[in-house]
Structure formats: structure tokens, C-alpha cells
Amino acid sequence: MRHYNQLTLKQRYHLYVLCKMGKTQKAMAKELEVSPSTISRELRRNGGKKGYRPKQAHIKAMSRRKKARRPSKWTALVIYFVEKMLREDLSPEQVSGRLYKCCRLRLSPESIYQHIWKDKKNGGTLHLHLRINNGKKKRKRRGKRDSRGHTKNRVSIDKRPYIVEK
């Protein structure tokens, strides 16, 4: 199936003028630089009892577009269970697995992390229940040398006391 773009409000007004002029659908399509099937579909779906009206057609198209969206999986009940499991110190990966196992609900760990960061932005405390670093990121050492494996106050072997030789 090919992808098509829906008409804008400006294009719908232009289409209205072309309809009033009595142009064919092919000519209208050429003028608007869209497929003839787009014009046919627009006139069929968005026409009213009094013919094609651009403002009315745009409202109809936008309401259909809103209805076409899939409903969110984040219902109040799902949010309650996700937050409850996070407060029990489960990782987002474990929460995702448990939701699928018990409810057959597929929520990605990434979307759970996004929920945690949104909660933090709104002043929540879910991020404190993350396992790694309590939700804090490590800072990089800029310009500092690596101090691992070095002994502090080390004395060089050349400067050791004479008694050690014996």
C-alpha cells in the first residue's frame, strides 16, 4: 500500500474553488499536485448534504484522524501497578516481564524509564527506586589523571634507607 498525504486546509479551499469552476477530478489533482484518487476520496468522504465545504471537510477529516489513533496502554490501573512494582525495587525490565506474564500487556522497559523520568520532572520519587546508582549518573573526570593503582606518599626505591639493604 502506498503512503499518501492528507490535504491541508489551504488545499481544501483551493479544491472548493476548482469544484465551483466545474473542473474534472483529474484536472483538480494536477492543479493541487496530488493523486486523482486523493481528490476522489476527499470528495466522497468529506462532502455534505450541500456539497463540498472546505471548513466542514477539514473538521470531518481531523475528527477521523483523532479516532484513528490507538488507545494508550497507560491506563490508571497500569500506572498503579508499574509504580507499585518500581517501589518494590524491581527494575523496569522486570516490571515489563511481569506485566506480560500476568496480564499479557506488552510495555517496553524504555517506556517505563520514560515514565520514571517524567515522574522525576514532576517532582516524584520513582527514580530513587532504580537499582543502578539510585538513578544518579556518574560524572566523567575531565582533565584528571587516573589515580587507580597508585600508592600515596610513595618513596622511590633510590631513596630508601641504608638499613634496608642489610
The string of pLDDT tens digits covering residues 131-156 is 775 545 566 667 777 777 788 888 78
48: left (phi over 0), alpha (psi -120 to 50) or beta: beta
Grid cell for residue 145: 589523571
Grid cell for residue 140: 566523567
pLDDT of residue 90: 93
Among 32-36, 143-147, 161-165, the minimum mean pLDDT is found in: 143-147
pLDDT of residue 135: 46
- Average pLDDT over every residue of 97-118: 93
pLDDT of residue 15: 94
pLDDT of residue 155: 79
pLDDT of residue 11: 94
| Helices of type H across the chain | 9-21, 25-32, 36-46, 54-68, 76-87, 92-103, 109-121
CA distance 37 to 28: 11
pLDDT in tens, 63-100: 988 888 777 889 999 999 999 999 999 999 999 999 99
pLDDT of residue 67: 84
Cβ–Cβ under 8 Å, residues 38 and 4: yes
Cβ–Cβ under 8 Å, residues 50 and 58: no
- Average pLDDT over every residue of 24-50: 91
> Any idea where the domains of the chain sit in the sequence?
9-68, 76-135
7: left (phi over 0), alpha (psi -120 to 50) or beta: beta
